[in-house]
Structure 1
Amino acid sequence: MIKLFKRIDKRYIPSLLAILLLTFGQSVAQLYMPNLNGDIIDKGVMAGDTDYILRTGGLMLLVSLGGMVCAILGSFLAAKVSMGFGRDLRRGIFTQASSYSLKEFDKLGTATLITRNTNDVTQIQNLGFMLLRMMLMAPMMLIGGIVLAVSKDAVLSLIIVAVIPVLALIIWLVGRSTIPLFQAMQRKIDKLNQVLREKLMGIRVIRAFNRDDAEKERFDSANTDLTKTAIKVNRILAIFMPLVMLIFNLIMLGVVWFGAVRIDAGAMEVGQLQAFLQYIMQIMFSVMMVAMMFIMLPRAQASADRINEVFALETELLDPDAPKAPEKTGKVVFDHVSFGYTNAEELALTDISFEAAPGETVAIIGSTGSGKSTLANLIPRFYDVTDGRILVDGVDVREFKKEELRKRISFVPQKALLFTGTIADNIRYGKEDATDEEVQNAARIAQASDFIDEMTDGYNSMISQGGSNLSGGQKQRLTIARALVRRPEIYIFDDNFSALDFKTDAKLRAALKDEVKGATVFMVAQRVSTVMDADKIIVLDEGRVAGMGTHRELLKSCDIYREIVASQLSEEELA
């Protein structure tokens, strides 16, 4: 927790100092009130002095007004600081997560990152506000109340000395019991978010296979698990609060009892007992504030640990101290490249070597799980190679700044991803300052202009979240247009023609030839018809190169390629 609060920006220091002064002023006002009240009884009511009652009563109003102003301003500043700190934490988590490679995302997972940036930060915000308001006031009220209570009657104050250690022990036991449970709750919230996210994202698949009941059971199981833990925590807290109130009422009963005895013995006045009772209430109120803090602290501590874990997890894909930026040509070389995912038993790619020259189209084909997409992900350095090296324009990709490397590449992922906004905005995602003519030209080459023109608002038509108002082929064509508008030196198409019919596929590849002339093109595909015109075809089998060459060369030399071709083309087409 302390490690997390060290991240508070220095610009909040004046506000923190102001909160400290305002809290001190509010505490002084509240501690002064019982003394004035006792004086009114002893010196005003008992003596029948009306003027003294009016003067002291007016002073009490002024003190109350001052305390109220301090409380309002203190609460406002505390809210401003805690909410600002929460905003800074969210920004920090988002920035940190944005720097992660796919390896770190695979390690943490999307669901937990969402929870840590929302629920966990909210827990820290709430604790921060409570700390600035209650935790600052509680020690002042506790110490001040004890000192003033002792000044009124030292003998009667022994009751407080006897009870406070008991309360401290109860608070410690509750904190010890709830911290593991709150940590478990945050993990179970992660699980619940994961199930819910999968349910919402996979709604089409779930309904297509009539798995609604099964998904409801998954959600109910995760929800019930979280509920049981939450109930267990609240049972502990439900016992804790009445127990503290019972002790509080016993103290008040004891003070009234022994106070009456001392008044009867002439050792104490009625006003002093009244003031003493109010000081006891303030002391107990301070203890209650501390107790509330200890109720919130375990869950906030669990959240702080999870947030610190995000900040502590550094990406392995660091920019070099002396990055290189060679002339842009688009040449790509794989030099004995091997790669394995974290905790995987086998390498995904083994000893891959080839060259791709500018103006050349390199197709990558193979069975499912052969490593095609993995190979494509290594070029823009989404992952770092395990062995070997990848050269772009003669320089190892690890010697580039990631931003500089990716400026040279247009990447079209296997899963077509669109953002909420207009069609033009989504195409301009590839080039922010693209003109209308460039946007329209990219859409025309990607064979997307026909369906765009048919839409009511054309290029200003809105795309819903995830492109759910478009077909799979329409989404793929827009993602291709987004890559084309950038006009880089290297294009990577990761199986982006699978949702297109053969006619559109052929038209798109024909239009691409002139558009990407001079650039290096990588085309991952399942269809033989998509790759057969490529300058170089790389056949992958279980992460290894099974063959390399043109379509005709591979038909003669590569059995695996012949099998793939025979499974897709007729004998006439094959001939």
Structure 2
Amino acid sequence: MSVFKDLLWFFKQEKRSYIWGISLLIIVALLELLPPKVIGFVIDEMIKKSLSGKTLFFWVGLIFLNGLLLYLFRFLWRRLIFGSSLKLAKQLRDNLYHHFTKMSPTFYQKNRIGDLMAHATNDVQAVRETAGAGILTFVDSIILGGSVLVMMAVSISWKLTLISLLPLPIMAILTQYYGKLLHQRFHLAQEAFSELNNKVQESMSGLKVIRSLGQAKEDIGAFKNQADVVVKNNMKVARIDALFDPTIMLVVSISYLISIVYGSRLVISDDITIGQLITFVTYLGILIWPMLAIGWLFNIVERGRASYDRIRSLLSIEAEIKDSDQALQKLAMGEIHYAIDSFTYNEESNFKLSDIHFRVKEGQTIGIVGKTGQGKTTLLKLLLREYDVNQGRISVGDMNIKNVSLHALREHIGYVPQEHFLFSSTVKENIAFSFTNATDEDVYKASEIANIHNDILDFTEGYQTVVGERGVSLSGGQKQRISIARSLIKNPNILILDDCLSAVDAKTEEKILRSLKDERDGKTTFITSHRMSAVMHSDLIIVLDEGKIIQRGKHEELVQIDGWYKEMFERQQLEELVQQGGR
């Protein structure tokens, strides 16, 4: 029952609903004791031939009124207790979602999306059942079961009650044993479901790759294998689950047999009446539900405990990047100063940035180039504080970015990543994502700067065209330019273009860069690219190699110096001439 203790914070939060709900449950339990007593009394009166029509009408009316009250109170307690459990599910999902949004990329490298989705669905559902049906079974098994036992012992025969309940210890021992097995197997079943979620999520995201490589059959086979594992583990849970009710019914049947045999002897010896024996057997029938509730309670509690442990374990992971207690809520723009002595992702990582020192004046454009995997994107993500510098600092306007809240920092930055993500909504909604109050004119202007406006007008429904999940209906160049427009619409003080022009041709790239230069006067822009043409007009160009700056300067300076930049620029110029000659 430790899960109830773990959820005590929620029960305190919703104490009014639970107090009223449990009170109504208790009233319902007491009202259920009346009909068997009335039945026994009426039967005894009939045997004595002393039952009058008026008396019968009174008892029938009382049972009818009792039924109406049961109907009303059952409706109310369900609304209060089950309604509160739905609030718990919402709160847990909100907590999980909020937690996910705070996590750094490292968290998502260690936890797969499908597994996180399983926590927010199946695990939350299991905990909700604990706070709803778990409370019901707990209260009913104690209150209703206890009330029935008291009535059986006090108003009929304590001897008959004691003998009839002799099989109950067997049920208690077996249900406790089943509960332990259920906890272990349900945990494994939830893990298997998480793996299946991961498989589905990865397969749907990579469907184009799977088909293009002719791996559809193999992927379907892998899915079936994982689905079989889920079924196998859930069958193990179901086998244990299926033992609860038969075990309880067997115990109850034995109790029935004992009560009828021994009760008949008590009737013969005039210790109890026939009406009392019928009342006793009826009470024993009512007692079936509290006994079943005990088994169901173990089932629900063990499932809830396993799931809440998984949720709590996930929520206990602290964000690596978070605001300090004294973090400022406003950032004063100015010169950006990189002073990184050393940075590495973790102890196991072979990658390292070292001795990165440069300044970017407000309004300047800086180009960052170098071979693949040399630290260009990492340099930009450090400015976004997706990771924190190990040794050194990054400052904006003489303020260390660690001393500013993440929200205050990032609201000044527009970031266009290498991997473009579009939401499954309209083109307009995707562009206006970072500026919810954007007008049509704002959207059109950002689209024109990104050189995507005319393309959008050619779409079937223009700006109201739904792009599909991850922009599946668009080309790579269109997705890149919509992503650029999405960052431009917020008119950020710092714009980061992380190799986001790779899918557009040289002429389109030139138009976009020219528009950016005209529109972003006085604002800072970072550009990383494999094409030198994208950075050649920058105020400062940095060349990275193995996490270090090996060259820096303007384009005119770097092409005069032997080195990587000059070699790459001349090679790309030659490739462009060859392509033009081919045309």
Deviation (angstroms), 1:54: 3.2
The letter for the 1-side match of 2:33 is L
The letter for the 1-side match of 2:127 is I
Deviation (angstroms), 1:46: 3.7
Q: Which moved more, 1:326-335 or 1:494-503?
A: 326-335
Report Cα offsets for 1:298-330 as digits up to 9, x if no partner: 222121112212332222322233333676434
Q: 2:432 maps to which residue? A: 428
Deviation (angstroms), 1:238: 2.4
TM-score of the pair, normalised by structure 2: 0.92
* Shift in CA distance, 37/416, structure 1 to aligned 2, threshold 3 Å: same
Q: 2:284 maps to which residue? A: 280
2:66 matched to 1:63?
yes
Aligned residue pair count: 574
2:519 to 505, 515, 519: 515
Q: Secondary structure at the match of 1:213?
A: helix
1:146 to 138, 146, 149: 149
- Write the distance in 2 (CA, Å) between the matches of 1:494 and 1:349: 18
Report Cα offsets for 1:186-227 as digits up to 9, x if no partner: 111111111100111111111111111221122122211111
The letter for the 2-side match of 1:39 is F
Mapping for residues 399-438 of structure 1, pairs under 5 Å: 399-438=403-442
Q: 1:12 maps to which residue? A: 14
1:330, 1:408 within 8 Å by CA — same for their partners in 2?
Answer: no
1:36 to 35, 38, 41: 38
2:138 matched to 1:135?
yes
The letter for the 2-side match of 1:24 is I
Q: Which moved more, 1:111-120 or 1:157-166?
A: 157-166
* Shift in CA distance, 398/185, structure 1 to aligned 2, threshold 3 Å: same
2:226 to 222, 226, 229: 222
- Write the distance in 2 (CA, Å) between the matches of 1:187 and 1:351: 44
* Shift in CA distance, 572/505, structure 1 to aligned 2, threshold 3 Å: closer
2:450, 2:481 within 8 Å by CA — same for their partners in 1?
Answer: yes
Q: 1:294 maps to which residue? A: 298
2:243 matched to 1:239?
yes
Deviation (angstroms), 1:402: 1.0
1:158 to 158, 162, 165: 162
2:188 matched to 1:184?
yes
Deviation (angstroms), 1:8: 2.3
Report Cα offsets for 1:372-407 as digits up to 9, x if no partner: 222211111122222211111211111001111112
Q: 2:376 maps to which residue? A: 372
Q: Secondary structure at the match of 1:462?
A: coil
2:393 to 389, 393, 401: 389
Deviation (angstroms), 1:102: 2.4
Q: Secondary structure at the match of 1:157?
A: helix
- Write the distance in 2 (CA, Å) between the matches of 1:47 and 1:212: 81
The letter for the 2-side match of 1:16 is Y
2:198 matched to 1:198?
no
Report Cα offsets for 1:61-109 as digits up to 9, x if no partner: 2222222221122122223211122122212221222222223333333
Q: Which moved more, 1:349-358 or 1:47-56?
A: 47-56
2:449 matched to 1:478?
no
Q: CA RMSD in A?
A: 2.3
- Write the distance in 2 (CA, Å) between the matches of 1:142 and 1:161: 12
Q: 1:452 maps to which residue? A: 456
1:91 to 89, 94, 102: 94
Q: Which moved more, 1:4-13 or 1:354-363?
A: 4-13
2:469 to 462, 465, 478: 465
2:105 matched to 1:102?
yes
* Shift in CA distance, 567/156, structure 1 to aligned 2, threshold 3 Å: farther
Q: 2:259 maps to which residue? A: 255
1:339, 1:349 within 8 Å by CA — same for their partners in 2?
Answer: yes
2:497 matched to 1:490?
no
- Write the distance in 2 (CA, Å) between the matches of 1:186 and 1:428: 39
Any stretches of 5+ residues in structure 1 without a counterpart? none
Report Cα offsets for 1:439-464 as digits up to 9, x if no partner: 21211111011112223443333332
* Shift in CA distance, 272/3, structure 1 to aligned 2, threshold 3 Å: closer
Q: Which moved more, 1:186-195 or 1:459-468?
A: 459-468
* Shift in CA distance, 356/160, structure 1 to aligned 2, threshold 3 Å: farther
2:363, 2:522 within 8 Å by CA — same for their partners in 1?
Answer: yes
Q: 1:341 maps to which residue? A: 345
Q: Secondary structure at the match of 1:477?
A: helix
Q: Secondary structure at the match of 2:287?
A: helix
- Write the distance in 2 (CA, Å) between the matches of 1:187 and 1:61: 50
The letter for the 1-side match of 2:91 is D
2:331, 2:408 within 8 Å by CA — same for their partners in 1?
Answer: no
2:118 matched to 1:111?
no
- Write the distance in 2 (CA, Å) between the matches of 1:363 and 1:3: 57
1:338, 1:347 within 8 Å by CA — same for their partners in 2?
Answer: no
- Write the distance in 1 (CA, Å) between the matches of 2:166 and 2:355: 75
Q: Secondary structure at the match of 1:548?
A: strand
* Shift in CA distance, 523/3, structure 1 to aligned 2, threshold 3 Å: farther
Deviation (angstroms), 1:523: 0.9
- Write the distance in 2 (CA, Å) between the matches of 1:557 and 1:305: 61
* Shift in CA distance, 130/495, structure 1 to aligned 2, threshold 3 Å: same
Q: 1:121 maps to which residue? A: 124
The letter for the 2-side match of 1:519 is K
1:19, 1:132 within 8 Å by CA — same for their partners in 2?
Answer: no
Q: Secondary structure at the match of 1:162?
A: coil
Deviation (angstroms), 1:504: 0.8
Any stretches of 5+ residues in structure 2 without a counterpart? 579-583
* Shift in CA distance, 293/572, structure 1 to aligned 2, threshold 3 Å: closer
TM-score of the pair, normalised by structure 1: 0.94
- Write the distance in 2 (CA, Å) between the matches of 1:274 and 1:567: 100
Deviation (angstroms), 1:465: 2.5
2:528 matched to 1:524?
yes
- Write the distance in 1 (CA, Å) between the matches of 2:566 and 2:305: 60
- Write the distance in 2 (CA, Å) between the matches of 1:148 and 1:560: 93
Deviation (angstroms), 1:12: 3.2
- Write the distance in 2 (CA, Å) between the matches of 1:190 and 1:28: 44
The letter for the 1-side match of 2:216 is D
1:44, 1:50 within 8 Å by CA — same for their partners in 2?
Answer: no
The letter for the 1-side match of 2:273 is E
2:331, 2:404 within 8 Å by CA — same for their partners in 1?
Answer: no
1:26, 1:68 within 8 Å by CA — same for their partners in 2?
Answer: no
Q: Which moved more, 1:449-458 or 1:113-122?
A: 449-458
- Write the distance in 2 (CA, Å) between the matches of 1:17 and 1:289: 20
- Write the distance in 2 (CA, Å) between the matches of 1:433 and 1:546: 44
Question: Identity percentage over the alignment?
Answer: 30
The letter for the 2-side match of 1:94 is Y
- Write the distance in 1 (CA, Å) between the matches of 2:11 and 2:409: 33
2:549 to 541, 545, 548: 545
Report Cα offsets for 1:215-261 as digits up to 9, x if no partner: 11221222111111111111222233322222221111111111112
Q: 1:212 maps to which residue? A: 216
1:116, 1:307 within 8 Å by CA — same for their partners in 2?
Answer: yes
* Shift in CA distance, 73/475, structure 1 to aligned 2, threshold 3 Å: same
Deviation (angstroms), 1:487: 1.7
Q: Secondary structure at the match of 2:503?
A: coil
